[in-house]
Amino acid sequence: MAIYDTLGTTYGRTRQPDPRIADQIHAALGNAADVINVGAGTGSYEPPQTLLAVEPSQVMLAQRPPGSAPAVCAVAERLPLRDDAADAVMALLTVHHWSDLEAGITELRRVARRRIVVLTWDQQIFRERFWLVREYLPQAAAFDDTRAVPTDRLARLLGGARQVPVHIPHDCVDGFGAAFWRRPDAYLDPRVRSGISMLAQTGEDVLAPGLAALAEDLATGRWHHRHADLLALGSLDVGYRLLVTDS
Ligand SMILES: C[S@@+](CC[C@H](N)C(=O)[O-])C[C@H]1O[C@@H](n2cnc3c(N)ncnc32)[C@H](O)[C@@H]1O
């Protein structure tokens, strides 16, 4: 059973593509005539020229909107595609879930004719800049330490890649880990947490004391006092990075 058969049951409710991040991803794909989306999930950020989506979870595949690109149930480590199958391959917020990163990246390089675009995050920056894991949920950061892929390692495996910061808008539509950096109450909502694997996989029991502390700091105004600087910002660099490479 694929891990997202459990984690992904409510994905489509809180994880919709953010249009500003979509613009950045589509710009990174350049003028690719066709694109393969690996670890595609429900199809977020797929451009119109998507040839095929590759996704191992049936639960995620079932949430792809009608009219989405064709999809196949498979893993990155063994792509059911010929060499040079498409101009570009993208893999968004997925590499940290792969059981064999090197095999998966080798496969991306095999099927991409010209360009590979990977969205991931720099765990060191994330730990330092994201108040939720720094001040309230260090256990979630510790869990992410076990799976986050260092961006320099990823760039090396890709044969060299430029790393482009993805700043997260304060009203980010896509409810991933740090999407609610300026909307702290959201993290008290179990539905929001269930769409964030870092929190869902750390477990509610482990998170409970930190969430109680956050609830108290929000009720007393302490959070707003301590983070007044954030409330003035429109977007934040919390460590998300696009890795872009030409083959
Ligand atoms: C956080 S979701 C991201 C989905 C989509 N790319 C997006 O941006 O919304 C991570 C996805 O990676 C998929 N995944 C997990 N292991 C995988 C593997 N070995 N190969 C390909 N995809 C995998 C999961 O099933 C899940 O759909």
One pLDDT digit (tens) per residue for the chain, 247 residues: 899 999 999 999 999 999 999 999 999 999 999 999 999 999 999 999 999 999 999 999 999 999 999 999 999 999 999 999 999 999 999 999 999 999 999 999 999 999 999 999 999 999 999 999 999 999 999 999 999 999 999 999 999 999 999 999 999 999 999 999 999 999 999 999 999 999 999 999 999 999 999 999 999 999 999 999 999 999 999 999 999 999 7
What's the gap in Å between 61 CA and the centre of ligand 1? Answer: 10
Global confidence as pTM: 0.97
What's the gap in Å between 2 CA and the centre of ligand 1? Answer: 10
Q: Rounded to whole angstroms, how far apart are CA atoms 4 and 57? A: 6
* Single-letter amino acid, residue 46: E
DSSP secondary structure string for all residues of 156-205:
HHTTS-EEEE-PEETT-SB--TTTTTT-GGGGG-HHHHHT-HHHHHH-HH
Q: CB atoms < 10 A from the CB of 95, how many?
A: 23
Q: What CATH number corresponds to the domain at position 14?
A: 3.40.50.150
- Closest to 178 measured CA to CA, from 234, 240, 118: 240
Per the structure, the complete domain to which residue 37 belongs is given by 4-246
- Closest to 123 measured CA to CA, from 98, 149, 103, 94: 149
112 forms bridges with which residues in the sheet?
86
Total domain count, the chain: 1
Residue 35: its pLDDT value, please? 98
What residues are in contact with ligand 1 under a 6 Å CB criterion?
2-4, 15, 38-41, 44-45, 55-57, 60, 75-77, 92-94, 97-99, 197
Q: 31-58: string of b/e by CB count within 10 Å (b at 16+)?
A: ebebbbbbbbbbbbbbbebbbbbbbbbe
* Single-letter amino acid, residue 225: H
What's the gap in Å between 39 CA and the centre of ligand 1? Answer: 4
